[in-house]
């Protein structure tokens, strides 16, 4: 299973990740329309990329009264079923990182991992966003 990892020390704050993400998510460029964020702290001494980590225990999924959010067993990606979504906003309130919100169609919208090949990683020239593989508990102990 692969995960998105973000590293503040390498992030330059260029927001190319958000631009390319917004173009896929919203059909045009605007970082505010991206499914991720880059925060700026302390006179811009730090830029902190914030991405959906496809939680093992997703608050967004757990808080959905309509079972519109599910976790794919093989990829681990947390996905929204737009047919089932009623735009109630429970998931939006539940995610402490603001990684899910209502899109232009008023349906819940979040990172779908670009079907396994995230554009944000592809356009992150400084390498602050990485795809990392998970070691199972057993492998760590070995």
Contact 90, 63 (CB under 8 A): yes
Contact 121, 49 (CB under 8 A): no
Indicate which single residue of 1, 72, 106, 126 sits in contact with another protein (rule: CB under 8 A). 126
Indicate which single residue of 4, 6, 16, 121 sits in contact with another protein (rule: CB under 8 A). 16
Q: Single out the segment in contact with another protein by CB under 8 A; choices: 8-16, 71-79, 107-115, 131-139.
A: 8-16
Contact 35, 120 (CB under 8 A): no
Q: Write out the binding residues for another protein, residues 34-63 only, by CB under 8 A.
A: 39-40, 42-45, 47
C-alpha span between 125 and 36 (Å, rounded): 17
In the complex, what is the shortest distance from the CB of residue 58 to another protein, in angstroms, rounded to a whole number? 25
Residue 115 sits in the site that holds another protein (CB under 8 A) = no
Q: Which of 104/132 has CB closer to another protein?
A: 104
Give the count of beta carbons closer than 10 Å to the beta carbon of residue 54.
22
Residue 14 sits in the site that holds another protein (CB under 8 A) = yes
C-alpha span between 93 and 99 (Å, rounded): 10
Residue 112 sits in the site that holds another protein (CB under 8 A) = no
Task: Give which of 137, 119, 91, 110 is closest to 53, Cα–Cα.
Answer: 110
Residue numbers at the binding site for another protein (CB under 8 A): 9-16, 19-20, 22-23, 26-30, 32-33, 39-40, 42-45, 47, 123, 125-126
């Amino acid at each position: 299973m692969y995960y998105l990892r973000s590293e503040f020390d390498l992030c330059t704050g260029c927001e190319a990740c958000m631009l390319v993400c917004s173009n896929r998510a919203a059909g045009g460029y605007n970082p505010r329309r991206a499914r991720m964020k880059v925060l700026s702290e302390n006179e811009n001494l730090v830029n902190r990329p914030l991405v959906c980590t496809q939680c093992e225990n997703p608050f967004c999924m757990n808080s959905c009264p309509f079972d519109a959010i599910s976790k794919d067993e093989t990829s681990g990606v947390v996905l929204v079923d737009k047919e089932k979504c009623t735009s109630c906003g429970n998931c939006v309130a539940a995610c402490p990182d603001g990684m899910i919100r209502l899109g232009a169609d008023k349906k819940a919208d979040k990172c779908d991992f670009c079907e396994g090949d995230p554009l944000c990683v592809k356009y992150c020239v400084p390498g602050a966003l990485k795809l990392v593989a998970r070691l199972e508990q057993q492998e760590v102990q070995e």
